[in-house]
Amino acid sequence: MTTPALIKALRGETSDRPPVWFMRQAGRYLPEYRRLRAEAPDFIAFCLNPEMAAEATLQPMRRFGFDAAIVFADILLIPRALGQDVWFETGEGPRLGELPAVGRMRELAPAAGEHLHPVGETLALVRKALEPERALIGFCGAPWTVATYMLDGEHRTIGKGERAQARTYAYAEPAKVDAVLEVLVEASARYLKMQADSGAQVLKIFESWAEGLPDDLFERLVLRPHQALVKRVRELGVTVPLIGFPRGSAALAERYAAEVAVDAVALDTACPLEVGKRVQAIKPIQGALDPLLLRAGGEALDRRVDQLMEAWGQGPWVFNLGHGILPDVPIDHVERVLKRIGAQ
């Protein structure tokens, strides 16, 4: 039986070159994606159409031959499973309705995986089409990141980039925020369990809003919910590797690696190479090319790829970006990186 290179790396093995995939590798920078997306009435409908989502997942695999596919979905499907309205407005991004009562969300959380079964159908379709040497990744948004959208709801009027409204709630209404996080741990665990049962060989937890948190909030909003989520996923019988991505955690990435029982830690663009080495001494790492540099291209791109290879290439490492690929990245820049690391 073939073991995909990604899974070997997550087990701590090294090879001649790191396995590679890119966050948001299925997306608007691909003309075939734009054509496919135009056929769906809205983004949520697109994510929940197994045939369309499977095609979106497979498009970058056909074009680039990445070592792993990540299921095409969205972190804000979980609020829908918990009874909160979610919609996307062109040019504005996600909007969410009023936060349901915590008690009602707690009742709905155990059925989150069942509610989002179309994502499982997508995974099954992709796994059937994917070569055995290529891994299939499922994912969820981390509890705090998803909570920031749920708590902000429709408003998002102040400090959008810093999640200021949600962070204010975390200080002013700690019991309510902690209760929402507990519900999200259970719902996310059930969702990840469903994905593993449907063919996902790796699961990733996206904490997109770990940045800017002081130590005490980082412990409360990131570390503890991640610890609880990993524990619950394992209690549900899931054995596949888990990748945690505490984006923006800076030096706290080391603490995250030491205290959260994920199998690997994904690093963001701002993570210094030396910090990456220290995290890599604890467990395998993933990252962390700047998506803006991927957009810019040229010799600067080559230099940074070489720096990452030199710094992290001797240990267990998955080559990736430090955040998602941008919609206007030239396709030949992606190909340039893959050739540079020996993946094409």
How many residues are recorded in the chain?
Answer: 344
Encoded tokens for 301: 């791109």
Nearest to 248 by CA among 276, 274, 210: 210
Per the annotation, the verdict on 37 as an active-site residue is yes
Per the annotation, the verdict on 29 as an active-site residue is no
Q: Of these residues, 28, 63, 232, 295, which one is catalytic? A: 28
- Residue pair 263/218 in contact (Cβ under 8 Å)? The answer is no
Q: Of these residues, 37, 232, 295, 340, which one is catalytic? A: 37
To which residue do tokens 């941008």 refer?
326
Q: Of these residues, 29, 33, 149, 191, which one is catalytic? A: 149
To which residue do tokens 């497979």 refer?
58
CB-based burial of residue 309 (10 Å sphere; 0-12 exposed, 13-18 middle, 19+ buried)? middle
Beta strands in 208-247 (DSSP E): 242-246
Task: Give the three-class secondary structure for 204.
Answer: strand
- Residue pair 21/130 in contact (Cβ under 8 Å)? The answer is no
CB-based burial of residue 231 (10 Å sphere; 0-12 exposed, 13-18 middle, 19+ buried)? middle
CB-based burial of residue 197 (10 Å sphere; 0-12 exposed, 13-18 middle, 19+ buried)? middle
* Phi, psi torsion values for 262, nearest 5 degrees: -75, 165
Per the annotation, the verdict on 220 as an active-site residue is no
Give me the helix-helix angle, 164-172 and 143-152, nearest 10°.
100
Per the annotation, the verdict on 34 as an active-site residue is no
Task: Round to whole Å and give the CA distance between 343 and 77.
Answer: 33
Q: Of these residues, 33, 67, 74, 163, which one is catalytic? A: 74
Task: Round to whole Å and give the CA distance between 293 and 71.
Answer: 25
To which residue do tokens 């090294």 refer?
14
Per the annotation, the verdict on 191 as an active-site residue is no
Active site residues: 24, 28, 37, 74, 149
